Structure 1
Amino acid sequence: MFEYVISIFSLSFGPFLYMGQLGQVFSRLFPFKRGLCHAYWAPNFWALYSFMDRILIIVFRQLGWGLNDTATSSVTRGLVGDVSFAVLPQISAKTTFIITVVFQMASLAKLWRYPNFKNFIGSTILCGYSSFLFGWHVHEKAVLLIMIPFGLIATESLEHFRTFIILSISGLFSLFPLLFKATETIIKISIFVLWIVLTCLGLSRTFSTKSESRTTPKPVKSTFVYLLENVYIIGFVILQFFTGVVHQIAFSDGKYQFLPLLATSVYCAIGIVYSWVRFTVIYFFEG
């Protein structure tokens, strides 16, 4: 087994080592010289952290408290290495590395104690979550590293299924800004709706077949939680209407150009962080 691992690494990195480009590879894998957040914030924990700093800036200005003027716009400019918060504590690459490793080790600990296929997929998903939510300079497309393995166990239970749906809708919608032209709007929305409908119908049918033999009733205490989740999902319709129509009409002069990106990133981040908490509970306490 060890020989196979060495062979794979040799084939992967050998050509770059031969061409003297190994440093470039590692700079791409670990972009610590870039900013904490990408120009368009990936919908992760740091997007919520940055948004909270923006809110606190407004509060501090209203109260007349002093601020770091150079930091008030640094997070939203998308410049390489340009990371500075005006109110909240600064975040270093070392901090993100430690947080990521700690959460990954927690999920791997269960796999170490109970090595089976279900725990392997679960730990893979949680490791993907940790990297995406707490990593340094994460790109929005990295959410696919969570969604793809999650699809393998999405029909394990109703809780798995609902968590997967929330993650999928939030993750896919967060990719909308990558297709930013007005002529692309109908295309991305059509593909998004088609994917959601086919996924919900396909997976729910599989889940219904599995559930026929189960006698465990749906917990009454989950009804309110399910309601909030459904309201959150419906909120994406409002978000799309705001970013695609209202913002262009209300700010036709080009003011607040970053607002649609900020709204999309923050709203999607709420769903992805929530799905992470939801799946963590399932993995450790219900799995």
Structure 2
Amino acid sequence: SLPVSRWYHENTSEWTLDYPPLFAWFEFGLSHVAQHFDRNMLVVENLNYTSPSTVLFQRLSVIFTDVVFIYAVRECCRCVKEQKGSRDLLNRPSFILAVLLLWNFGLLIVDHIHFQYNGFLFGFLLLSVAKHLKGALLFSILLNLKHIYLYVGPAYGIYLLRSYCFTQNNKDGSVRWSSFSLLRLLTLGSIVVSVCVLSIGPFIAMGQLPQVLSRLFPFKRGLCHAYWAPNIWALYNVLDKVLAMLGVRLKLLNEAELPRASMTGGLVQEFEHSVLPSISPPITFICTLLSILVKLTFLSCRLSMKPAVASIWRRPRGARGFLRCLVLCALGSFMFGWHVHEKAILIPVLPLSILAVESREDAGIFLLLTTTGHYSLFPLLFTPAELPIKVVLMLIFTIYSFTALRKLHSGQLSLLHRLEVIYLLGLVAVAIACEIVFPLSPWQQRFPFLPLLTTSVYCSVGVCYSFLRLYVSLLREQEKPKQL
């Protein structure tokens, strides 16, 4: 109902357009279908409008666009190596992968209950792993649909440059510098630039690029979302809060001089830490970059520490090596990024599903990260009627994941260590306390955000641990001796 020139300026609602232009055109296309269901839903000033026809259209539109995701899952399953002598369909790696992706608990509740359009975006992500030129095109489209995938851009850039623009030495797999093809580099570049020009070009022509960028990168929203994503900053915030409380109690700090504890107020805004240094957007950018590039020499002095993207440059190892780097980049950005949403945990979880059916080590990491990450999404469904739905759905997916992967990697040691199992069992205690006990306690009025705080902090431990375990696994794989 508005001209294109006003799309990124409209602010009648708090839900402004903060996605790249391709997604705006996607929504524009949906609106032409929506008008046949209920035209009132398209009135910009009609805030908080709802009707049975509106809800029906929204749900059907998500289901329809999930066709892209279903097709991508089919293509991924076709690439999975089947075990020799495996005739039982239910125990085949391809079937297990299909269930892990199509029935992913987090994606199911985020898209079909909480309501978003992540399914078809993940479809583009999974398809982009397939081929070089096709992958460059699909990832460029994906990036112009949702810019959060910029975090995994380094994995794509290095992998495509290394695998498509160079050829490798057949003896040791090292890069042959003399084989560099400028023509192939220009081909890749032209694909990326063409998609970006088609997407952002009209807004550049209208002189609206600064306005578009201000919507895509809203740094004034603060370090954390209203509900903290379970990452390193959740632990940082809690540590700051604990130090402030101890400082006041020990009379080392004056409570009146401390910044107001707005970080636990459930609001999207900027805030200052009380004791620890406050975090700015450049700091989160540097930390994210370091989490991907820097040598983690403190992990083990016996490992030759190679950055994630450097490892796929030195020895790409095909799609599997690229996938592991992609997961690591996505998880690193989730841990250290600015104003990360809890739903972003799905970006590393879904590609990790592919690795989980092929590697015992990756299967263990998948179970730990998925269980922790999925439980961290529980606060998105907060009404009493949704409690049994989310509990049952997560139990079904979690039990299947553990049993199927354990049987698939049978004959070997347990997929998880004892302490990891104890940690995951602790989620049951957290769930009972936050979902059942706390709503009935007198603390509900005084500390309304305590369940969110508890969930975020506890899950942060598991996510951070999964990141470190994934990184160590990647680096150890690079150091495995060559088979004669």
CA offset at residue 50 of structure 1?
A: 0.3
Find the counterpart in structure 1 of residue 106 from structure 2: none
- Give the alignment of 1:109-124 within 5 angstroms: 109-115=310-316, 116-124=318-326
Q: Distance in 1 between matches of 2:433 and 2:201?
A: 49
Give runs of aligned pairs for residues 31-42 of structure 1, distance below 5 A.
Answer: 31-42=218-229
Q: Map 1:14-93 to 2 at 5 A.
A: 14-17=201-204, 21-67=208-254, 69-93=257-281
**Cα separation, partners in 2 of 1:24 and 1:238, compared to 1, 3 Å:** farther
The one-character-per-residue Cα deviations of 1:27-77 (angstroms, maximum 9, x if unpaired) are 343222221011100000000000111111221121012146452412112
Report the alpha carbon displacement of residue 280 of structure 1 after superposing the two structures with TM: 0.5
Structure 1 residue 149 corresponds to structure 2 residue 149: no
Asked if 1 retains the 8 angstrom alpha-carbon contact of 2:244 and 2:253, the reply is no
1:114 to 1:267, Cα distance in 2 relative to 1, 3 A: same
- Once residues 186 and 128 of structure 1 are traced to their aligned partners in structure 2, the CA distance between those partners, rounded to angstroms, is 31
- Aligned-pair CA distance for 1:252: 5.7
Structure 2: where are the runs of 5+ without partners?
A: 1-187, 294-306, 479-484
Which residue is 1:3 aligned to? 190
Aligned partner of 1:139 in structure 2 is 341
Q: Which amino acid aligns with 2:456?
A: S
Task: Please show how residues 164-243 of structure 1 align to structure 2 within 5 Å.
Answer: 164-208=366-410, 218=413, 226-243=417-434
Q: CA deviation at 1:10?
A: 2.3
Verify the 8 A CA contact 1:75 1:83 in the aligned structure 2: yes
Percent identical residues: 41
Deviation at 1:7? 2.0
Shift of 1:251: 2.3
Query: How far is the alpha carbon of 1:200 from its aligned partner?
Result: 2.5
Q: Quote how far apart the aligned CAs of 1:286 are.
A: 3.0
User: Is it true that 1:272 corresponds to 2:474 in the alignment?
Assistant: no
What is the TM-score when the length of structure 2 is the normalising length?
0.54
**Closer, same or farther in 2 for the Cα pair 1:249/1:188, shift >3 Å?**
same
Structure 1 residues 199 and 17: CA distance shift in structure 2, 3 A: farther
Asked whether the equivalents of residues 57 and 72 of structure 1 are also in contact (C-alpha less than 8 Å), the reply is no
2:263 counterpart letter in structure 1: V
Residue 254 of structure 1 pairs with residue 428 of structure 2? no
Taking a change above 3 Å as real, the CA distance of residues 61 and 135 of structure 1, as seen in their structure-2 partners, is: same
2-structure distance, mates of 1:66, 1:252: 27
Asked if 1:95 corresponds to 2:296, the answer is no
1:21 Cα deviation after fit:
4.8
Letter in structure 2 aligned against 1:6? V
**Equivalent of 2:475 in 281, 284, 287:** 284
Give the stretch that moved more between structures: 47-56 or 68-77.
68-77
In the superposition, the TM-score normalised over structure 1's length comes to 0.88
Higher-helix-fraction structure: 1
Task: Verify the 8 A CA contact 1:35 1:79 in the aligned structure 2.
Answer: no
Find the residue that maps to 1:281 and give its secondary structure.
Answer: helix
C-alpha deviation, 1:139, in angstroms: 0.5
CA spacing shift, 1:77–1:65, aligned 2, 3 Å: same
Structure 2 Cα separation of the partners of residues 263 and 176 of structure 1? 12
Task: State the AA in 2 paired with 1:169.
Answer: T
Shift of 1:155: 2.9
Of 305, 308, 321, the match for 1:107: 308
> In the comparison of the two structures, how many residue pairs are matched?
276
Kept in 1, the 8 Å contact 2:220–2:270? The answer is no
Q: Which has the bigger relative contact order, CA under 8 A and spacing at least 6?
A: 1
Q: 1:270 to 1:28 in 2, by over 3 A?
A: farther
Aligned AA (1:110): S
Q: Deviations over 1:119-165 (max 9, x none)?
A: 21111011101110000110100101110111110133322111111
Q: Would you say the 8 A contact 1:129–1:146 is kept in 2?
A: yes
Q: Distance in 2 between matches of 1:258 and 1:159?
A: 36
* 1:98-121 deviation per Cα after TM superposition (whole angstroms, max 9, x unaligned): 111122232111111112222211
Partner of 2:16: none
Secondary structure at the counterpart of residue 195 of structure 1: helix
Q: Find the residue that maps to 1:131 and give its secondary structure.
A: helix
Is the 1:133–1:273 Cα contact (8 Å) retained in structure 2?
yes
Amino acid at match of 1:114: R
* RMSD over aligned Cα atoms: 2.2
Q: Which runs of 5+ in 1 are unaligned?
A: none
Contact 2:357/2:405 (8 A) holds in 1? yes
